[in-house]
Structure 1
């Protein structure tokens, strides 16, 4: 192994290897590795000396005081401890959502259009229902989550289920957020959701206003909201905040006890 013109050579002396620094007739520094070094102090002195010679052609003494060796040791201990604390801090900042309860809700937009499931297309449409057609509106299985250490200032995390296995999800495609209905057979996968995991696409931030109106913002794609068109019988889709052509406020009524 070469260190800027200085060499470390391994030599055998009979049946025993030795570890001592020496110079050959050409002025090249060598070290002989001992099988049983006299002490860890000698090993530390030699290793530190070789490390220093990587950055200098000037001969440097290999003896260090006890105080110097203690400082070198403590520097490495402090550095390792600091790195561990940084890594632990990074891991502790990962948000985890834990489900706590589930209730049924009716939902309609501010123009009284209800959400209706179109099974053939597996999509939701917003349409005006009257009289005998009211049974077509969906009831949301709204599952509420908590995130330890979070104050929910951006809204309450919820998952929105329809029927037995269908759940609304939001993912980014190109430059547009897409709302989908996905079938979820493994309900346990929804009990605990990591903010950095793929399952976070099923979470929305439910935010209630003072006018008994509610918005649902994607937890996966912040700034995109569940919305309906102003026209009747149009798909329920995602829209970006401030889109004046879409309706993002909804009335949600708890029907769990009805």
Structure 2
């Protein structure tokens, strides 16, 4: 993967350089490992802001995982998801509260495969809870975020968690590409992964995020609508085309092959579908 000397680049400021390719889109593998225990056939995670039982079921049916939000019928929805198949992929959102450990244990026991642990200003409390979960509740896959810098990511990976979610903090812009690169470099030291948790509007954005080092991205209503199965199918097609464009048969190949070039706003507009 090519490093960049530019201080900060967002998804809208880069394009991937095409390369000679013998890789056909239908030969591309979109499989990714969120952890040693959770594998996806499609490298996307449904955001809790849009996920209900139906959405979670649609993601699981397409080999992906969606995160059920805190409150309401979260526990019952997890139980419904795994009622017919205990291996069904489903994630849950857990807040950084005093009972977070007990909540995560309960939801894992009900069948949740991943927790999306929401960080707040009390990072020390979160780190203590995450360390306990990583040590005492295997094989639960643990993701924590939002994180906007490599130093915080390192502190989190030191607890033993599997994934850090890169996303903006309130009032703080995040350069998604360069931040993902920096956090992915730290993650590699811990055999862990990075999820880009914001900013995805097109399938091309997902290709860029994966090329920058993410193992998956979190998607919301900017790209998923009322027919999630159709939208996921379109995303998969876009990913296959984008990866073939760079000569990449797998996501690992994409990280190795990717070269970014900086573009202007006008160049970005031209890169999307438009009238002649």
TM-score bracket for this pair, using the shorter chain length: under 0.3
Q: TM-score, normalised by structure 1?
A: 0.21
Task: Report the structure, 1 or 2, having the larger strand content.
Answer: 1
Task: Report the structure, 1 or 2, having the larger helix content.
Answer: 2
Larger Rg belongs to: 1
| Higher RCO, 1 vs 2 (CA within 8 Å, ≥6 residues apart) | 2
